Amino acid sequence: MATKKKSTKRPPPAGKRPARASRPPARRQPETLRLRSTGPALTANDLQRSIAFYRDVLGFMAGEEWRENGVLAGIELKAGAVSFMLSQDDFAKGRDRKKGVGFRLRCQTAQDLDRLAAQIKARGGVLDQEPQDMPWGERLFAISDPDGFKLSFVQSR
């Protein structure tokens, strides 16, 4: 029969022990905004084409789907801890409106940025900007989705 081995670690001296968990400090009043996550919700001119781009070119995974009268109206796409929502545009604001103007999604990853960019290009993606070191110390590349929404992929260091 196996016996449990005794620990050889000694507890730290009384003055060096970690403090017991105490209540967190009182929140500042008036209370400030505290978000848990964020994720863009983008409208697509052609939902199936956009799903294919995010899933097959960028590497997102399909999540929950939303249907109206049996027709796919929207989908959650996941990449790591991040979710994007895509929905079919109803064109209530016109079919010719520009999307993504003055707006860019910053997608931070710990993955090798050059390898990621090469994989995206191998799957048919066309980069707006090749991977490069930026003056502020980040390495990034840029790409646009089929509707013109801009994405910058940034390697965290």
- The CATH number linked to 111 is 3.10.180.10
Q: In the prediction, which pLDDT does 31 show?
A: 82
The strand pairing partners of 86, in sequence order, are 42, 75
Any domain includes 135: yes
Any domain includes 125: yes
Tokens of 42: 């983008």
Domain residues for the domain of 60 are 39-90+99-155
Any domain includes 62: yes
Q: Say how many domains are in the chain.
A: 1
Distance from C-alpha of 154 to C-alpha of 157, rounded to nearest angstrom: 9
pLDDT tens profile 77-132: 999 999 999 999 998 888 888 888 889 999 999 999 999 999 999 999 999 999 99
Residue 16 has pLDDT above 70, yes or no: no
Any domain includes 15: no
Q: In the prediction, which pLDDT does 72 show?
A: 95
pTM: 0.78
